[in-house]
Amino acid sequence: MSGMLRVQFAGLTMLAASLAAASPVSAAALTCAEFQDTFTHAVPELSPQFGRSVVVSRGARGDTRELTTNSAVEGRLTCDGTRFVRFEVQLQMPSTPAGRDAFFRVQLAAAMAGLKWSRNRATQNIIGMSSEAADYLRASEERGDVSVSGKVERHAGAAGDLAAMWTKTDRTFIVLAYD
Region class of 78: left (phi > 0), else alpha (psi between -120 and 50), else beta: beta
pLDDT given for residue 29 in this prediction: 82
Tell me: the pLDDT tens digits for 12-50?
A: 344 344 434 434 444 468 999 999 999 999 999 999 999
Can you give the residue ranges of every domain in the chain? Answer: 25-177
* Residue 122 predicted with pLDDT over 80: yes
- Determine the residue type at 60: A
**With 0-12 CB in 10 A as exposed, 13-18 as middle and 19+ as buried, what is 99?**
middle
Query: Is the predicted pLDDT of residue 170 greater than 60, yes or no?
Result: yes
CB 84 within 8 A of CB 28: no
Count the neighbouring beta carbons within 10 Å of the beta carbon of residue 128. Answer: 13
Give the pLDDT score at 178: 80
At residue 1, the pLDDT reads 44
C-alpha torsion sign, points 16, 77, 41, 166: positive
Confirm if 117 and 137 have CB atoms less than 8 A apart. Answer: no
Instruction: Report how far residue 9's alpha carbon sits from residue 12's, in angstroms, rounded to the nearest whole number.
Output: 5
Query: Which pLDDT band holds residue 4 (cuts at 50, 70, 90)?
Result: very low
Task: Determine the pLDDT at residue 158.
Answer: 85
Q: What is the pLDDT of residue 21?
A: 42
Question: With 90 as the cut, is the pLDDT of residue 135 above it?
Answer: yes
pLDDT tens digits, one per residue of 81-115: 899 999 999 999 999 999 999 999 999 999 999 99
Among 159, 161, 38, 37, smallest CA distance to 88 is for: 161
Q: What is the mean pLDDT of the chain?
A: 84
Q: In 3-state terms, what secondary structure has residue 103?
A: helix
